[in-house]
């Protein structure tokens, strides 16, 4: 069983890389998806966040308003740290349960741990290899503004809230650069997949 941590900067194209790898046969575990499960109404993390930020961060159906919370925490380093302390431990607990289940049923498959905050959560030693998806800052800003409807300042706040991308790159075993065409990205992922398969064999 090979466990590969997939991370990178925000709006660098990590999700696209994850999808390509899953299409090739990798077992994908998505930390963002698990995070959404941990903050469903009534879950302990949901209770803690509402007790902390108040019911004004809820939508009409009782779910957390992700954009409203993002606007609160991405401008406040201490608030972001507090949110991460509430959510991250629960996400990783569920994440590891899922990983063990997959390992039991598919011991020969490659697991892709899609964790945007792999380093920030201190999980870099839990995987065998680390893949970082990187992009130029201007491309990140442009994608965030287009994707999430953010101002340039808001986009910069999101980027600056994460660990410096160059630090992640220096700690990576493999780096994929997403500043060109989709075909260029796919070619890099294909090469990565062949290397991972060779390691498994």
pTM more than 0.85: yes
β-bridge mates for residue 30, sequence order: 114
What is the pLDDT averaged over residues 22-48? 96
200 pLDDT tier (thresholds 50, 70, 90): confident
* Closest CA relative to residue 10, chosen from 152, 174, 145, 144: 144
CA distances from 90 to 33, 34, 94, 167 (A): 13, 9, 6, 26
How far is 159 from 136, CA to CA, in rounded Å?
11
Which option is the CATH number for 2-200: 3.30.360.10, 3.40.50.2000, 3.20.20.70, 3.40.50.300? Answer: 3.40.50.300
The domain spans of the chain are 2-200
Q: Dump pLDDT digits (tens) for 93-151.
A: 999 999 999 999 999 999 999 999 899 889 999 999 999 999 999 999 999 999 999 99
CA distances from 79 to 26, 40, 51, 66, 76 (A): 35, 20, 14, 14, 5
194 pLDDT more than 90: yes
Q: Do 69 and 83 meet the contact criterion of CB atoms below 8 Å apart?
A: yes
How far is 117 from 142, CA to CA, in rounded Å?
21
Q: Dump pLDDT digits (tens) for 39-69.
A: 999 999 999 999 999 999 999 999 999 989 9
161 pLDDT tier (thresholds 50, 70, 90): confident
Average pLDDT, the chain: 94
How far is 57 from 69, CA to CA, in rounded Å?
6
């Amino acid at each position: 069983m090979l466990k590969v941590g997939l991370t990178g900067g925000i709006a660098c194209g990590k999700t696209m890389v994850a999808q390509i790898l899953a299409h090739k046969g990798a077992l994908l575990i998505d930390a963002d998806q698990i995070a959404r499960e941990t903050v469903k109404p009534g879950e302990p993390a949901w209770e803690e966040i509402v007790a902390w930020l108040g019911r004004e961060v809820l939508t009409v159906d009782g779910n957390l308003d992700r954009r409203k919370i993002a606007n609160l925490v991405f401008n406040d380093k201490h608030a972001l740290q507090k949110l991460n302390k509430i959510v991250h431990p629960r996400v990783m607990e569920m994440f590891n349960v899922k990983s063990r289940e997959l390992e039991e049923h598919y011991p020969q498959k490659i697991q892709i741990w899609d964790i945007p905050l792999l380093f920030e959560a201190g999980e870099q030693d839990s995987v065998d290899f680390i893949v970082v998806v990187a992009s130029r800052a201007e491309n990140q800003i442009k994608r965030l503004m287009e994707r999430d409807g953010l101002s340039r300042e808001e986009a910069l706040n999101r980027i600056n809230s994460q660990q410096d991308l160059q630090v992640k790159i220096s700690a990576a075993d493999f780096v994929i650069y997403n500043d060109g065409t989709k075909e260029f990205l796919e070619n890099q992922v294909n090469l990565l997949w062949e290397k991972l398969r060779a390691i498994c064999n």
